[in-house]
Homo-oligomer: A and B are copies of this chain.
Amino acid sequence: MQYPSKLIEDAVNEISKLPGIGKKTALRLALHLLKQDEGTTESLSSALVNLRQQTKYCRICHIISDSEDCTCESIRKDSSLLCVVEDTPDVIAIQNTSQFYGYFHVLGGIISPIEGIGPGELNIDSLVERVRKSEGVIKEVILALSPTMEGDTTSFYIAKKLKSFDIKITTIARGVPIGGELEYTDEVTLGRSIVQRLVFDITTD
């Protein structure tokens, strides 16, 4: 595609690097910005740079945060519950159900041999350490991973790692459609899957 100016070509190329955005959509977005006042583009631009440069990950729960100590230690109600999720959108999705009042632990991904992600790349050691350090305060770990092959593998791996502790290991109810992505599940289904969580069974191995 030929563009009338280098500036618009650069902008289209950069925007279309984003996932799910092609050249035509990128052009539309660029032309939209050209028609707004300069402040709109500047706010967008600085919000992105600030996000990328200043975002920290909480050293306890590994959630995206404005500082290395997020509010995870203070705002939740029930310190006996720890919910393990793949990534930040899952935390947001579960919070929006208003059905969970415990703590979160973000793995930062799931075990995926195809993508070369092993247990070592995930925040699993720190999860085990967190359970150990709680000295019995954490009574239940809820595995809220997507019900896919990778999610199940990860749940299984974590359940085995936590086997030695005197805690209940549960998994969210499989009301979530099998093969679907957790972050896109509707709030009612997801909320029910938190309420109807099931004891995780590892007797099959």
Q: Which residues of A contact B (CB under 8 A)?
A: 1-8, 10-11, 13-15, 17-21, 24-25, 27-34, 38, 40-55, 63-66, 70, 87-89, 91-92, 95-96, 184
Is the Cβ of A1 less than 8 Å from the Cβ of B96? yes
Q: Contacting A14 at CB < 8 Å: which of B7, B17, B47, B55?
A: B47
Is the Cβ of A92 less than 8 Å from the Cβ of B1? yes
Q: Contacting A38 at CB < 8 Å: which of B10, B53, B70?
A: B53
Ordered by A's residue number, 9 sampled pairs between the chains whose C-beta atoms are within 8 Å are A1-B92, A8-B88, A10-B47, A18-B32, A18-B33, A30-B48, A30-B51, A31-B64, A38-B53
Is the Cβ of A42 less than 8 Å from the Cβ of B51? no
Q: Contacting A52 at CB < 8 Å: which of B19, B33, B55, B184?
A: B33
How many copies of this chain does the complex contain?
A: 2
CB distance from A106 to the nearest CB of B (A): 9
Given A19-B28, A32-B19, are A2 and B96 also a contact pair (CB < 8 Å)? Answer: yes
CB distance from A87 to the nearest CB of B (A): 7
Is the Cβ of A4 less than 8 Å from the Cβ of B53? no
Q: Contacting A49 at CB < 8 Å: which of B6, B41, B92?
A: B41
Is the Cβ of A34 less than 8 Å from the Cβ of B52? yes
CA–CA, A115 to B6, complex, Å? 31
CB distance from A101 to the nearest CB of B (A): 13
Given A66-B5, A88-B31, are A48 and B45 also a contact pair (CB < 8 Å)? Answer: yes
CA–CA, A66 to B27, complex, Å? 16
CA–CA, A16 to B52, complex, Å? 17
